[in-house]
Amino acid sequence: MPTAPSRPWRARPTPLLVAALVAAIPPLVAGAETAPPWAGLEDVHLDIIPRTAEERARVGAVTAPPKDFAAPWPYEENPGGAQTVRARGTADAFSQPAANLTFRQELDFKVGNGMFRRVWVSAPASTIASDGLGPLYNARSCQRCHLKDGRGHPPEGPEDDAVSMFLRISIPAPIPDEGDLAAMEHYIAGTHATAPDPVYGTQLQDFSLPGHAAEYRLDLRHEEIEVPLSGGEMAVLRRPAYAAADPGYGPLHPDAMLSPRVAPQMIGMGLLEAIPAADILAWADPEDGDGDGISGIPQIVWSDVHDRPMLGRFGHKAGNPTVLEQTASAFAGDIGISNPVYPAGSGDCTDRQIACIAALDGGDAEQGGVEIDAVGLDLVAFYSRTLAVPARRDVADRQVLRGREVFFATGCTSCHRPTYVTHRLAGDDPASFQLIWPYTDLLLHDMGEGLADNRPEGRADGREWRTAPLWGVGLTETVSGHSYFLHDGRARSLLEAVLWHGGEAQAARDAVVEMAPEDRAALIRYLESL
């Protein structure tokens, strides 16, 4: 049988190498010369019980590089550890509670699910529980974008709206002057300085309440690109071009930078949040010190909840550090719902959108002056954290096993890191001390010009993206009714997604193009089993 190009499993850095890497990074907060390097990257949002020496040894053994590819490995059938549930062959496959929830936690999950599905209406309404929508928004509920907790998709024709997709917007900004203490307070060293569009804010909303103009209409066009593959096969990619048509509040800023975003799947978020920051940082190699062409860097963002720099984990460019903040920012930006983290009643409206700012909002004194209070926000965040990861399928199938060997040998695991063990957490936290298989390093990587949005975000430049987790990827069509992938849904299949990889992934992508067709088919079959 033909073999895939040889590429070793990426060696895990030793503790001494980690210490050297950390020491080489300048202080995160500019002007904080006395702050230790990487200050603020502790897992401050988790109640952590330090691992014992015995536990560290067990973790090292269970996450060690594999040697035998002839049979399934222990535990890989359960990618979410004890949170894993049976894989359903229905659209509800991503909507199950984690298998290890207590009875009380399952009740919280169900209430959070109800709030995740809640359809918001404009204020004033007959109940304070559901009013406050907009005035500008992208969707009326979390569920409208993350349908069945799965992936969104780009519009599929003139009759299909872009409810699960929008454009982020920002403009370049100067790095703050060190003498401006207020501006420097939250500036993180190495960050690409940007600012919201002075009129349109941080994202473009394509829906609005009566009496308000929507901000734009998404104009999407495609150019087809043929990619010859080995064995006489051919793939056809679609190169998208995006424009903000019919701007409702005048022209965009001349330097406006736009970036499309499709809603990602929701499973396993609490487990990703519980991965030790040190384990993620250990995988970083900013200067490509090992010479393998992979130089992932950590995203560092300011946490509005913890008031300090933290490791970014969530979003296509890892722009949020915690599930709570990801949830709060989505309520504010996508639906226009104020909350304790982002309390503005007008959502993403700017001072130049006078009618939007002046509109009646749903903030009520009984809810602390916001439209969803801390209790409600926590419940939605808990629901998001505890959506179960479905079990793997066909782990013993010969073609799947061959595809797994190809995946490792081709170098895909240099970014799509297979395994972690989460923190041991106090209490009955369901994410505590789980062996998980998310297939991501949660770092930023240069993905080449083909996928570049040319819009920096935090420490990510216009070509860098966070490695997307792969667990559940094979159930996308079952859950979402489509097989669109990548940050903007341009890829219509897993093979197309692979072929869009460039930059640091160029060598792996080229290996897929050139490998024997049966190995390429096995690789895709393996991905479909995840």
Whether 204 is in a domain gets the answer: yes
* pLDDT score of 128: 74
Whether 499 is in a domain gets the answer: yes
> Is the CB of residue 245 less than 8 Å from the CB of residue 221?
no
- The per-residue DSSP string of 417-463 comes to ---EEPPEESTT-TTTT-EE-------EEE--GGG-----BTTB-TT
- 467 Cβ contact list (under 8 Å, min separation 6): 296, 415, 416, 417, 440, 441, 442, 443, 445
- 258 Cβ contact list (under 8 Å, min separation 6): 167, 168, 169, 204, 242, 244, 453, 455
d(CA 200, CA 177): 25
User: If residue 15 lies in a helix (H) or strand (E), which one and from where to where?
Assistant: helix 15-24
Judge if the upstream peptide bond of residue 135 is cis by omega within 30 degrees of 0. yes
Find the length of the chain. Answer: 530
Range of the domain at 255: 15-529
- The per-residue DSSP string of 302-358 comes to EETTTTEEEE--BSTT--BSSHHHHHHHHIIIII----SSS--TTTT--TT-HHHHH
Q: Strands, E, within 212-265: which ranges? A: 217-228, 234-245, 257-262
d(CA 138, CA 166): 7
Whether 8 is in a domain gets the answer: no
Residues 246-262 pLDDT 10s:
999 999 999 999 999 99
Whether 223 is in a domain gets the answer: yes
How large is the average pLDDT for residues 208-218? Answer: 96
How confident is residue 431, by pLDDT bands cut at 50, 70 and 90? very high
d(CA 187, CA 182): 9
Residues 143-187 pLDDT 10s:
999 999 999 999 987 777 778 999 999 999 988 877 776 667 777
Q: Which of 8, 32, 12 is nearest to 278 (CA)?
A: 12
With H, G, I as helix, E, B as strand and everything else as coil, classify residue 197. strand
* pLDDT score of 123: 93
Decide which of 46 and 131 is more confident.
Answer: 131
How large a percentage of the chain has pLDDT more than 70? 91
How large is the average pLDDT for residues 324-339? Answer: 97
How large is the average pLDDT for residues 348-375? Answer: 93
The DSSP symbol for 486 reads S
Pair of tokens at residue 264? 């990602």
> Is the CB of residue 319 less than 8 Å from the CB of residue 259?
no
**Cα 78–61–47 angle (5° rounding)?**
70
For residue 442, pLDDT beyond 90: yes
> Is the CB of residue 439 less than 8 Å from the CB of residue 494?
no
- 330 Cβ contact list (under 8 Å, min separation 6): 142
Q: Which of 50, 56, 67, 18 is nearest to 421 (CA)?
A: 56
Whether 262 is in a domain gets the answer: yes
Please identify which residue in the block is written with the tokens 């203490």: 181
CA distances from 202 to 103, 166, 486 (A): 40, 11, 21
d(CA 491, CA 488): 8
Task: Give the number of other CB atoms < 10 A from CB of residue 327.
Answer: 28
d(CA 437, CA 240): 32
Whether 237 is in a domain gets the answer: yes
The DSSP symbol for 128 reads T
Tell me which of 31-40, 60-69, 272-281 is least confident.
Answer: 31-40
Number of domains in the chain: 1
Whether 421 is in a domain gets the answer: yes
Whether the CA torsion 144, 145, 151, 152 is positive or negative: it is positive
Q: Which of 141, 133, 136, 127 is nearest to 364 (CA)?
A: 127
* pLDDT score of 129: 81
Residues 375-427 pLDDT 10s:
999 999 999 999 999 999 999 999 999 999 999 999 999 999 999 999 999 88
* pLDDT score of 46: 66
Whether 320 is in a domain gets the answer: yes
How confident is residue 366, by pLDDT bands cut at 50, 70 and 90? confident
For residue 35, pLDDT beyond 50: no
Reported as half-sphere exposure (CB side, CA atoms, 13 A), residue 62 has a value of: 19
* pLDDT score of 414: 96
* pLDDT score of 29: 44
Query: Which residue type, as a one-letter code, is found at position 19?
Result: A
For residue 34, pLDDT beyond 70: no
d(CA 146, CA 269): 14
**Burial group, residue 210, by CB count within 10 angstroms (0-12, 13-18, 19+):** exposed
- 73 Cβ contact list (under 8 Å, min separation 6): 66
Pair of tokens at residue 221? 């066009």
d(CA 61, CA 56): 9
How confident is residue 42, by pLDDT bands cut at 50, 70 and 90? low
The DSSP symbol for 33 reads T
d(CA 356, CA 394): 53
> Is the CB of residue 279 less than 8 Å from the CB of residue 420?
yes
* pLDDT score of 381: 98
User: If residue 54 lies in a helix (H) or strand (E), which one and from where to where?
Assistant: helix 53-62
How large is the average pLDDT for residues 433-460? Answer: 97
> Is the CB of residue 421 less than 8 Å from the CB of residue 59?
yes
Residues 185-209 pLDDT 10s:
777 888 899 999 999 999 999 999 9
How large is the average pLDDT for residues 324-328? Answer: 98
* pLDDT score of 318: 97
For residue 9, pLDDT beyond 50: no
Pair of tokens at residue 279? 């384990």
Decide which of 8 and 354 is more confident.
Answer: 354
Average pLDDT, the chain: 90
